[in-house]
């Protein structure tokens, strides 16, 4: 079972905003940077956000990240049908000496 907890699903209509939470502890999110990954159906994951709030080149600014204490949040504005995917947070856990992923959140565009 994952040590990072995310809501199983979120949904909204095109153009709206959604936020996805990622709750951890002092040994993971509270102690390290957080990354966010997008996995489109049938494809490998791709990084959306790194170091809590940075976007790799090519990732639109509709995607944003933040962190506070032992929780992190991914925001998606101007929702598009192409954003329908599974989203995962991830970071290193110093107590487990392991990389940990969130439970995953499915985004549905209504």
Partner 1 sequence: QVQLVESGGGVVQPGRSLRLSCAASGFIFSSYAMHWVRQAPGKGLEWVTLISYDGTNKYYADSVKGRFTISRDNSKKTLYLQMDSLRAEDTGVYYCARGVGGTLIDYWGQGTLVTVSS
Question: Which residue ranges make up the site for partner 1 (CB under 8 A)?
Answer: 2, 32-35, 37, 39, 44-47, 50-51, 56, 86, 88, 90-92, 97-104
Q: Residues with Cβ < 8 Å from 39, sequence gap 6 or more? A: 45, 46, 85, 86, 87, 88
- The residue (of 79 and 100) whose beta carbon lies closer to partner 1 is 100
What is the Cα–Cα distance from 62 to 4, expressed in whole angstroms?
A: 24
By beta-carbon proximity to partner 1, the closer residue of 3 and 18 is 3
Smallest separation, CB 30 to partner 1 (Å):
13
Q: Which is nearer to partner 1, 28 or 76 (CB)?
A: 28
Closest distance of CB 76 from partner 1, Å: 19
Report DSSP state, residue 94. Answer: T
CB of 2 to partner 1, least distance (A): 7
> Closest CB to partner 1 among 47 and 77?
47
**Torsion angle of alpha carbons 25, 8, 84, 19, nearest 10°?**
-50
Buried b (16+ CB within 10 A) or exposed e, 20-42: bebbbbebbbeebbbbbbbeeee
CB of 39 to partner 1, least distance (A): 8
């Amino acid at each position: 079972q994952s040590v990072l907890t995310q809501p199983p699903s979120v949904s909204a209509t095109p153009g709206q905003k959604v936020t996805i939470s990622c709750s951890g502890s002092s040994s993971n999110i509270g102690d390290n940077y957080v990354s966010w990954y997008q996995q489109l159906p049938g494809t490998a994951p791709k990084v959306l956000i790194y170091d809590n709030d940075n976007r790799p080149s090519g990732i639109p600014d509709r995607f944003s990240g933040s962190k506070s204490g032992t929780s992190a949040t991914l925001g998606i504005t101007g929702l598009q049908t192409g954003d329908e995917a599974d989203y995962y947070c991830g970071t290193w856990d110093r107590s487990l000496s392991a990389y940990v992923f969130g439970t995953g959140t499915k985004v549905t565009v209504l």
